Structure 1
């Protein structure tokens, strides 16, 4: 490597220091391939900005997805499908993630890849059904009477143990709570004291206690103690407003998939709140259609009562051509369901054989009956200028500095080979630049990367040359 010969005291690659963080106290986060995508980057009129929300180019596709986002928000797209088609590396997955950002964190977004359905644990159709159920949210609103405030007093009262002559037991606990409007002293059951000990609540913490169930939750530390020094990082919250005793509307978000899983392994009570509290992470089990129908009945009852609200989300299936004819048939049935989420599909295939068949050739590898249900959005190939902007955006996200010659070189690499290959050269080249003692990536680092690594087209050409040479030698 060139960098290793630039100086005799150069640090070996395996001992290269970690890249510096932006600040000493900042927590470093993993940089994913689409970390720079923050949304579709549309104006209020629905037109795409040239460079908006981290998105470069694809103006027609972004504007089309913006229309779909408006339809989803107005709940007029449920049960339909959006198909994103285009060559590899043209931003299909980025478009789906941008749609997710535009919808917000409260709308369920369930991404998967077509090959995920081929599981050894459950059936293919069960994997699809589970993904659809996880993309349908349920927003439960419940009004509860609670006591909320900053703890000013926490005094357990002990009494003789009636079951034994030895030792004492807590008969009740006295808690003082303070808000902006006043204070209140509560005399509570000893079981609540156990919950207080479990939550590690001390004087100065802001808590709320449910009157009916006695559940205790610690909200955080009162901001009056923000100037004090703690070894542990604390979350400081302001002093609650209003009276100590109040009625409060609590909103909880779950998905139908969560309710299915909880009912498949029931624990505790039978009401919907107990079901939500019994969610466990364990091995995958198939959920019967009968159980799903029962869950739907309970959900419908809560919706009719005005306690809950159904929030249709989005299922994103990438590489949809990997599904077989059985899965496509089942997708048709799921799309016709009255409780169906929005479905976004993505593929990079042209006319190809539908998986699971021997004679059905269809556009994008999707059967015509399902294709007829889809609104199709095409992604275009990036120009050299757009590739350069994408490379610069990624360099900014990763905290890398590029010389103008490097940016022009990588734009050319992306145009001749692929955008992904150009982006993949960034981080290795930054390691070489760091080992050589440079603050930014220079052209010689990129040239050395091209010597060390091959792009897909160059590798395929080399294989073809070797094959033709072997054929000539054999003849």
Structure 2
């Protein structure tokens, strides 16, 4: 098969040719894309809660990992809501990695809302609104609803037409007959014309597996029946097995939302379909400040759902990195948020020692956090990495990024990490690999690391050079 070429216009209006990329190349490019913490898979603890050595992508930090493991158990048992965990330690010791590992341990169904302390200084909404919104987005609501549905493989779609009473000529669809088949039997349904419009919108044809809600008439296409699957089919199609049981059944549907989603949905004004309403929605700003009255009404409805057994509240986690960037007003508001009935677990992280509390002129407190908020926190300290541990971290990152290290390179990079910082040593990996590839080598050699050290400065060397220039 020949590679096709498509013509697209660049931003300047000049036609640009793009060679079509095979799906395999695209998927390989996505697989090689890594993030700073893509090697973190969890806390790496045993079933008893002890550190399992260098597991889960972590190296060292045994005490901090075990402490976070206890917090995970507290969150799962719903006994840590409204409390706070403070991670303190030098830069590059894994505070953010611990918070991400904690979210991995809790699972994808538990809301995890990360933010940085400086995000609250927004010109669109108040500082307290940013914090309240983050807290609401970290509280999940799992709604369970039992619906009567018709489910099966479509065997027939026959619209029935009738004369349109509003027009002298032309016809309109009066009803549609849909045939559904399951492993147990078949059934013909006589449905409303609105269902036929939904079928056309979903592009449903004979052979598709669908389910239709009995009460609302909503139609959902699940996929193509695997009876139509063929090894020569080039279409990107999802094949599903033929449904079991009867065509008409009761099905439990579970939907996960957050209180922040409910707030935003109720705060957004619902305009009409006229041209002025549409244009107004286009020029309106994206951020809408939610009032406390609206949040109280949402909480009241949520409580009713929980009392009826329809919904379940799932407290999540708010992670605020660089918490010392918050000011005294934000800290005071955090105290109130932690005492609210619906409060998630809060994780703070900071690399400051004794520091001035932002927004004050004379209040110096440990980690730049006021004492009344510190009293609400369990504090976990991360340890500085030794040279051997720096080498292990570099080895893990090299494996994740697919970089081969030649003889002596790991020791050289570990030496640079001990002299400058772990982050500096990690940053040398990718450019050194590019330099090795340009030289026709698969592995990095020591000369590549030396050349990178001559091109890029670490923070300590740069600060030292500036101090020398200032003293001259």
Instruction: Give TM-score, length-normalised by structure 1.
Output: 0.89
Whether the aligned pair in 2 keeps the contact of 1:21 and 1:28 (CA below 8 Å) is: no
- Matched with 1:161 is 164
Deviation at 1:368, TM superposition (A): 0.3
Q: Are positions 1:375 and 2:395 aligned together?
A: no
- Per-residue CA shift, 1:58-77, capped at 9, x if unaligned? 11000000000000000000
C-alpha separation in 2, matches of 1:176 and 1:55: 55
C-alpha separation in 2, matches of 1:230 and 1:164: 45
Which one of the candidate residues 112, 115, 119 is aligned to 2:115? 112
Whether the aligned pair in 1 keeps the contact of 2:268 and 2:288 (CA below 8 Å) is: no
Q: Are positions 1:59 and 2:74 aligned together?
A: no
- Per-residue CA shift, 1:187-209, capped at 9, x if unaligned? 11111111111111111211110
Which one of the candidate residues 388, 401, 404 is aligned to 1:401? 404
- Matched with 1:97 is 100
- Per-residue CA shift, 1:252-282, capped at 9, x if unaligned? 01000111111101549xxxxxxxxxxxx96
Q: Are positions 1:421 and 2:424 aligned together?
A: yes
- Matched with 1:174 is 177
SS in 1 for 2:465: helix
Pairs aligned (count): 438
Deviation at 1:21, TM superposition (A): 11
Change (3 A) 1:21 1:460: farther
Q: Are positions 1:222 and 2:222 aligned together?
A: no
Q: Are positions 1:200 and 2:208 aligned together?
A: no
Q: Are positions 1:317 and 2:320 aligned together?
A: yes
C-alpha separation in 1, matches of 2:425 and 2:236: 41
Whether the aligned pair in 2 keeps the contact of 1:58 and 1:379 (CA below 8 Å) is: yes
- Per-residue CA shift, 1:393-420, capped at 9, x if unaligned? 1111111111131111111111111111
C-alpha separation in 2, matches of 1:22 and 1:402: 30
Q: Are positions 1:304 and 2:307 aligned together?
A: yes
Deviation at 1:221, TM superposition (A): 1.6
- Matched with 2:456 is 453
Aligned pairs (5 A) from 1:425-436: 425-436=428-439
C-alpha separation in 1, matches of 2:267 and 2:336: 23
- Matched with 1:283 is 286
Aligned pairs (5 A) from 1:309-388: 309-388=312-391
- Per-residue CA shift, 1:306-328, capped at 9, x if unaligned? 00100000000000000000000
C-alpha separation in 2, matches of 1:170 and 1:282: 41
- Matched with 2:280 is none
Whether the aligned pair in 2 keeps the contact of 1:62 and 1:95 (CA below 8 Å) is: yes
Which shows bigger deviation, 357-366 or 428-437? 428-437
What residue ranges of structure 1 are gaps of 5+ in the alignment?
Answer: 1-19, 269-280, 470-475
Change (3 A) 1:240 1:332: same
- Matched with 1:292 is 295
C-alpha separation in 1, matches of 2:269 and 2:226: 40
Which one of the candidate residues 123, 126, 132 is aligned to 1:123? 126
Which shows bigger deviation, 297-306 or 393-402? 393-402
C-alpha separation in 2, matches of 1:307 and 1:251: 10
Change (3 A) 1:70 1:464: same
Cα RMSD of the aligned pairs, angstroms, is 1.7
C-alpha separation in 1, matches of 2:395 and 2:139: 37
Which shows bigger deviation, 241-250 or 175-184? 175-184
Instruction: Give TM-score, length-normalised by structure 2.
Output: 0.90
- Matched with 1:26 is 27
Whether the aligned pair in 2 keeps the contact of 1:151 and 1:175 (CA below 8 Å) is: yes
